[in-house]
Structure 1
Amino acid sequence: MFIFEEYFLDERHRWTLCNTKDVEIFREHNCHVFQHKRSYGYWAIWKKLNEDFYEYDEFHIHVVLEQVPNFKNPNYQQEQYGFIWGALDAVNHLSFLITSNGNYQICKCENGNWEEYSELQENDNIHRGNSLNILEIRRKKDIVKFYINSVLVKEISTQIAMKILGKNIGFLVCGENTIKIHSLIIKTSGIDDKDSAEKRNTDEFENNTNLKASFFEHVSPENDSFEQVFADLNLLVGHDLIKQQFLSFANFLQVKSERSKRGLKNLDLSLHIVLLGPPGTGKTTIARLVGRLYKQLGYLEKGHVVEVDRAGLVGAYLGQTAYRVDDAVQQALDGVLFIDEAYSLITEGGSSNDYGHEVVQILLKRMEDRRDRLAVIMAGYTEEMEFLFKSSPGLSSRFSRFFYFERFTPKELILIFQQFCRDRDYTLEESAKSALSEIFENAYAKQGKMFDNGRYVRKVFEYSVEQQANRIILYDFKEINDSSISLIRAEDLIGFMDRD
């Protein structure tokens, strides 16, 4: 159940707005700007919610903050800022604070006297400089957990962390310092780092499409079998190296299962895989086969594949992305979460404040927490994916296998075209094969990075079918047999050759 949602799109929650010699607080596009002008002390703002969430045994607070560079204060990155709860006033509250040079602290201020629950200490999970940082507070009965950018940094007993002095929530800024508050979400009903997605089946969540991932689900075929998985793999055109890698991986999985049955020790196994290569080379197809393989060997119960991309995971506003990622993970449990064009999550030259960074941080934790029920497969161009892994320490270590896809040769492109024909009851005249050879030889010779291989074949096929229909329509259908209405000739491809 959502207690409070704030994306600072308007003034509906009536946060403090002011401009004095000590502080300026104003709303900017999709954020609340909080500037403390003094070089000493701190300033706090707070508000009381309509519903008291402190009484719940389980709740989740999610805050997205950003420090603004302050060139007047060369030490601004050492100044603390963060979230306060259980607040009565400016000198009575509990606080979760960070600095942009990589430190955090959890403490209580009672009548102006500070007590440290966690001393100021360095943490590598804090994004340095003027980057976004996500603070989370999760209560689960007797324990309160504190997270920075989806990574657990501290656990404190509820008796201490929820010894509140008042019922207000808010924000605090120390020293000559400015922050942007991008979002604040508070919800109840049992949010735990492993059980967050399963327990969010409230009406509010179900009706809020902005918090739900956009995806396509592929279900394993009925009456599937281990043998059928490999039969379908061998039907694929080309990819001899991929087929060898797939077989080797399957052999490893089978032997590992047998060793487990015998009580023998095994290597620690990650089911997560990376598929690298050009577009249109069958990466999605291989991901689906991997899901089926995991199911047949008993590693995943369902083996279905939830297919998403950046657009399906990243929220429109800060604070929404975490819920969309968790929703995608929930949908993929006991199967595969397939992220196509995963490199678009973090791009070279992109902003450090891009929402894709949040996706990666959350995925890192979910991949570890749910490794027994979830396989994540990422796919994309080789070079761009290498940059993604370099930009996110720890991501590459989550993956056990890297499959490298090669572009299709002209002969393989023709075989794919013939496969399209067989699947759709078309046949090729010999002259059409010669025309296809010329089309694919030319395309292969001048193809760039964006050449989409199998998708290019589909475009050629769809064009030829349409041109064939334009030719056939000139005849009386009663005079045309099945062979003629299914035959693709060279003339049905000439136009594409000229266009290409």
Structure 2
Amino acid sequence: MERPVTLKNNGQINIVLNNETQKTHGTQTSSFIPVVKQEVKHEALRDIEREMAKLVGMEEMKRIVKEVYAWLYVSKRREEIGLKAEKQALHMMFKGNPGTGKTTVARLLAKLFLEMKVLSKGHLIEAERADLVGEYIGHTAQKTRDLIKKAMGGILFIDEAYSLGRGGEKDFGKEAIDTLVKHMEDRHQEFVLILAGYSREMDNFLMLNPGLKSRFPLVIDFKDYTVSELLQIADKMLKERQYELTKEALYKLRQHLNDVTGQSSLQTFSNGRYVRNVIEKSIRSQAMRLLTTNKFDREELMTLKSIDLILSDGEKVSF
């Protein structure tokens, strides 16, 4: 009989605030006196850390988010005592394959920037080529300006941004790029632009406009998930839906993920999205099995067996 098993998740990222002591010298004696300081709770960072702790992997991204928080916080403290604090642009580039969490991270950053009063609204506007590129001369610039206007006070997230440069010299995509570059400079304190896409294509995209590369001080690489991380993602999805895999089903899923991630070309592999598709199709398969067997007790309703597993191409995983 197949029995349910669960997986363990990684721990939470924490920041440590150290206690301090100060040595003071009097006219006759010297002693160590504890410095009584108001505790800095860094609630904005704590909130984002709690959200990031739910994400599997992406350690580099988590480090950069904390680095951005530290820079913004210290800049505010410098301003408070009259030191120079340059307001740098926070435009970013996310490079990586589909399903690696780029949109999720963009939403978290919007929330962080709102809590730190870097952005006035903290909303996220998602866009693609069709939202920026028009059908005739002048149309593209207006569409792009309208989209930027909607993003004011928040983040404009453009996925597959490299597609703006794929149409050749006569394509209006270049007009969209030029309009974005101008507003990135003129209004860099009013919104954040994040361009996302495949690593190689985004590198080529930067060559289309001389001013592009220098305007993205933050570049984050979103690595493909390992098999272990994909299994953690599967486990989280199953727990959220109150399902469990049997030991045999878990073994088969692991073997399948080893196969698909071991292929020579992974650019078409959609990482977390692929796992979600497998889980959702397998749940539907389990529903059909239960309907035909007429078994609806709690354990049956919660358990996905190896016979229920379905690949993203629609084929059942067979033994």
TM range (shorter): 0.7 to 0.9
1:431 equivalent in alignment to 2:248: yes
Identity percentage of aligned residues: 36
Q: Name 1:81's counterpart in structure 2.
A: none
Q: Is the 8 A contact 1:234 1:243 kept in 2?
A: no
1:279-290 equivalence runs, <5 A:
279-290=98-109
- SS of the equivalent of 2:292 reads coil
Q: Name 1:155's counterpart in structure 2.
A: none
In structure 1, which of residues 324, 327, 338 is the aligned counterpart of residue 146 of structure 2?
327
User: What is the aligned-residue RMSD (CA, Å)?
Assistant: 1.7
Q: Name 1:198's counterpart in structure 2.
A: none
Q: Name 1:341's counterpart in structure 2.
A: 160
- SS of the equivalent of 1:274 reads strand
Measured at CA, do residues 491 and 355 of structure 1 come closer, stay the same or move farther in structure 2, by a change above 3 Å?
A: same
In structure 2, which of residues 48, 57, 80 is the aligned counterpart of residue 229 of structure 1?
48
Q: Name 1:454's counterpart in structure 2.
A: 272
Q: Is the 8 A contact 1:435 1:494 kept in 2?
A: no
- SS of the equivalent of 1:474 reads helix
Q: Give the deviation of 1:353 after TM superposition.
A: 1.5
CA distance in 2, matches of 1:498, 1:435: 8
1:485 equivalent in alignment to 2:301: yes
Q: Give the deviation of 1:497 after TM superposition.
A: 5.5
CA distance in 2, matches of 1:425, 1:239: 25
- SS of the equivalent of 1:404 reads strand
1:304 equivalent in alignment to 2:120: no
Q: Give the deviation of 1:261 after TM superposition.
A: 2.2
Q: Is the 8 A contact 2:144 2:176 kept in 1?
A: yes
Aligned length: 272
In structure 2, which of residues 211, 219, 223 is the aligned counterpart of residue 406 of structure 1?
223
Q: Which amino acid in structure 2 is aligned with residue 490 of structure 1?
A: S
Give the 4+ runs in structure 1 shifted more than 6 A.
none
Q: Is the 8 A contact 1:226 1:296 kept in 2?
A: no
Q: Which amino acid in structure 1 is aligned with residue 302 of structure 2?
A: S
Q: Map Cα deviations across residues 1-46 of structure 1 (whole Å, 9 max, x no partner).
A: xxxxxxxxxxxxxxxxxxxxxxxxxxxxxxxxxxxxxxxxxxxxxx
Query: Structure 1 length normalisation: TM-score?
Result: 0.52
CA distance in 2, matches of 1:466, 1:452: 21
Q: Map Cα deviations across residues 204-252 of structure 1 (whole Å, 9 max, x no partner).
A: xxxxxxxxxxxxxxxxxxxx95422221112101111111121112111
- SS of the equivalent of 1:473 reads helix
Q: Is the 8 A contact 1:242 1:405 kept in 2?
A: yes
Larger Rg: 1
CA distance in 2, matches of 1:323, 1:481: 59
- SS of the equivalent of 2:145 reads helix
CA distance in 2, matches of 1:316, 1:472: 52
CA distance in 1, matches of 2:292, 2:61: 46
1:370-385 equivalence runs, <5 A:
370-385=187-202
Q: For structure 1, which segment, 437-446 or 242-251, has the greater mean C-alpha deviation from structure 2 after superposition?
A: 242-251
CA distance in 2, matches of 1:416, 1:492: 18
Query: Structure 2 length normalisation: TM-score?
Result: 0.81
1:464 equivalent in alignment to 2:299: no
Q: Is the 8 A contact 2:307 2:317 kept in 1?
A: no
**Bigger strand share:** 1
Q: Is the 8 A contact 2:96 2:199 kept in 1?
A: yes
Q: Give the deviation of 1:494 after TM superposition.
A: 6.0
Q: Give the deviation of 1:436 after TM superposition.
A: 0.8
In structure 1, which of residues 314, 331, 356 is the aligned counterpart of residue 133 of structure 2?
314
In structure 1, stretches of 5+ residues that fail to align are 1-223
Q: Map Cα deviations across residues 48-69 of structure 1 (whole Å, 9 max, x no partner).
A: xxxxxxxxxxxxxxxxxxxxxx
Q: Is the 8 A contact 2:89 2:217 kept in 1?
A: yes
CA distance in 2, matches of 1:240, 1:278: 16
Q: Map Cα deviations across residues 368-414 of structure 1 (whole Å, 9 max, x no partner).
A: 12112110011111111111111111011111100111101111111
Q: Map Cα deviations across residues 309-346 of structure 1 (whole Å, 9 max, x no partner).
A: 11111113332211211111111100000011111111
In structure 1, which of residues 424, 440, 456 is the aligned counterpart of residue 257 of structure 2?
440
Q: Which amino acid in structure 2 is aligned with residue 467 of structure 1?
A: S
Which structure has the higher relative contact order (CA within 8 Å, separation 6+)? 2
1:473 equivalent in alignment to 2:291: yes
Measured at CA, do residues 355 and 489 of structure 1 come closer, stay the same or move farther in structure 2, by a change above 3 Å?
A: same
Q: Which amino acid in structure 1 is aligned with residue 67 of structure 2?
A: S
**Bigger helix share:** 2
Q: Name 2:213's counterpart in structure 1.
A: 396
CA distance in 2, matches of 1:431, 1:318: 59
In structure 2, stretches of 5+ residues that fail to align are 1-42
Q: Is the 8 A contact 1:439 1:497 kept in 2?
A: no
1:248 equivalent in alignment to 2:67: yes
